[in-house]
Amino acid sequence: MSTVALANAAPAPSVEEETKQSLVEQTMGDAAERPPPSKSENIFMQIAVHPDGTITRPVVPSVPASLDAAVSSRDVPLDASLGTYIRLYLPSSPVDPPSTKLPIILYFHGGGFVIFSADTVFYHASCEAMAAAVPAIVASVDYRLAPEHRLPAAYDDGVAAMLWLRDAAHEDPWIAAHGDLARCFVMGSSSGGNLAFNAAVLTKGVDLSPAAVRGVLLHQPYLGGVERTPSEAASGDDFMLPLEANDKLMGLALPVGADRDHEFSNPAKAMAPEALVGLPRCLVSGSDGDPLVHRQRGFAAWLLDGGVEVVARTDRAGFHAAELFVPEKAEELFAAVREFVHGGGEP
């Protein structure tokens, strides 16, 4: 696969764009110069787990928020005592006419609950691009990571972010001027999809006024189970999410002693059906080349059986996290988000 720039990169090259391109090259490789990345080069495989249970993470570039980009961004605290925050993204020309308010997408990044943050270079770029493409105000949550903070710590931070929509968002100048709190959506990618689902379940009975959650968007949600699905069993050498890395990440994230059938990993097997009652409509999106795709299809079916209104789009070509590196895949995802948020129908 040839190296590609991240979606919707700024037209003028910069140190930030060069960093993005370099990371893409490290992650995706360049077919003209070398073969596709091997399992040993996978960033998750580079997480070193020490005998005492601590880990050393590989260094991944991060970028600061910026008020000078085509999409402005800035950080606001979520819980200063925990070091959590929210990075807000506002399109420079939000909507036409300007008096129209934007929906708000509360977004949770991926990384297996173990790595990456809201300021990680490719998640920052993706949120910039999504804010402009939908358009929407994107509120990307920086939550606590495992194994220092095993689940349900990230879920607790997700709930705190949902309550931020109720308690503090209306006081933010960007949201007060441009945001429509009556049209909030909860979204996550990979482990962030798992987190978004659980945050929505945990708060579905909570009055979030003046905010109202209209839908939940789960992109390639990171789920698992003791019994392998066919796509998991075939993923031993997957370049983006090899099976060994999949098991490592969930092992670091789950409560000590829990197996992959724990409800944090396999809600379709372990979560009470009553937990789905009152859940807003859900978009479940995925790709046919993702090792998690069969798990995601089963999850979408479980939601539907539980009475949730589901838009399932798990048959598109691609691989895990392709939208972070392939512009066409980013555009495809953003089109689905745009239709779900603005159109209310199937993407």
Please indicate whether residue 305 is annotated as part of the active site: no
Tell me what percent of the chain is helix, strand and coil, each rounded to the nearest 5: 35, 20, 45
Asked if the model's pLDDT at residue 12 lies above 50, the reply is: no
Rounded distance, CA 191 to CA 44, Å?
A: 13
Rounded distance, CA 22 to CA 25, Å?
A: 5
pLDDT confidence of residue 253: 98
**To 5 degrees, how large is the angle CA 271–CA 273–CA 278?**
115
CA distances from 234 to 84, 231, 250 (A): 37, 5, 18
77-81, 89-93, 107-111, 269-273: the lowest-pLDDT one: 89-93
Question: Among the options 124, 178, 294, 320, which is catalytic?
Answer: 320
pTM for the model stands at 0.89
Please indicate whether residue 320 is annotated as part of the active site: yes
Rounded distance, CA 181 to CA 28, Å?
A: 38
Instruction: Work out the average pLDDT over 308-332.
Output: 96
Question: Among the options 126, 190, 191, 235, which is catalytic?
Answer: 190
Question: Among the options 156, 172, 238, 290, which is catalytic?
Answer: 290
Q: Residues 204-263: pLDDT tens digits?
A: 999 999 999 999 999 999 999 999 999 999 999 999 999 999 999 999 999 999 999 999
pLDDT confidence of residue 69: 86
Instruction: Work out the average pLDDT over 164-187.
Output: 97
Q: Residues 237-251: pLDDT tens digits?
A: 999 999 999 999 999
| Cβ pair 281, 347 in contact under 8 A | no
Please indicate whether residue 40 is annotated as part of the active site: no
